[in-house]
């Protein structure tokens, strides 16, 4: 039996894949759980049209992400933190603080898009974070932590 997956299923396939499964598995599990639909000629045509439209939207989103990436390059943010006399930060600097500082520059970046290479930043200094604007567009962003 051929089915079109409606969501990613581990060890089986990803969304919109057309795969062959045993009849019982498709009829008794995948289709009732709304994880797949039967792949016939009409559903294959609908899938092809959806993929074509999604590719167009995806290209537009990627172009927007590349434009934002070019604007972010070369920018640097300074984050103030309370520190001891030796330069150790009370607490740590995290992605929430970094996202707020970037948003003050006029960019709409969510904290979930930011990855800081170090586990936690506990000292003043210069650091680099990676901002994932799109699944194919990742920007290195420099920031500095200073004592308040």
Instruction: Determine the pLDDT at residue 91.
Output: 86
Q: Using CA atoms in the order 57, 59, 63, 68, what is the torsion angle rounded to 10 degrees?
A: 60
For the stretch 58-116, pLDDT in tens is 999 999 999 999 998 888 899 988 888 888 888 888 889 999 999 998 888 999 999 98
Residue 119 clears pLDDT 80, i.e. is over it? no
Average pLDDT over residues 6-34: 94
Which residue intervals of the chain bear CATH 3.40.5.10?
2-66
Domain 2-66 CATH (choose: 1.20.120.80, 1.10.1200.10, 3.40.5.10, 1.10.1660.10)? 3.40.5.10
- pTM of the model as a whole: 0.68
Instruction: Determine the pLDDT at residue 147.
Output: 87
Note whether 102 and 93 are within 8 A (CB). no
The length of the chain is 148
Q: Which two tokens stand for residue 27?
A: 């009829």
Note whether 3 and 18 are within 8 A (CB). yes
The per-residue pLDDT of the chain, averaged, comes to: 91
Return the CATH number of the domain spanning residue range 69-147: 3.10.430.100
Which residue intervals of the chain bear CATH 3.10.430.100?
69-147
């Amino acid at each position: 039996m051929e089915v079109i997956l409606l969501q990613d299923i581990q060890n089986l396939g990803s969304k919109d894949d057309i795969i062959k499964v045993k009849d019982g598995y498709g009829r008794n599990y995948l289709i009732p759980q709304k994880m797949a639909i039967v792949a016939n000629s009409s559903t294959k045509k609908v899938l092809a049209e959806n993929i074509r439209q999604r590719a167009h939207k995806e290209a537009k989103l990627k172009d927007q992400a590349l434009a934002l990436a070019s604007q972010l390059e070369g920018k640097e943010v300074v984050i103030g933190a309370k520190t001891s006399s030796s330069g150790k930060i009370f607490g740590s600097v995290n992605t929430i603080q970094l996202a707020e500082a970037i948003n003050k520059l006029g960019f709409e970046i969510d904290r979930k898009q930011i990855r800081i290479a170090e586990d936690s930043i506990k000292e003043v200094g210069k650091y680099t974070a990676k901002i994932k604007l799109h699944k194919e567009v990742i920007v290195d962003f420099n920031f500095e932590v200073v004592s308040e």
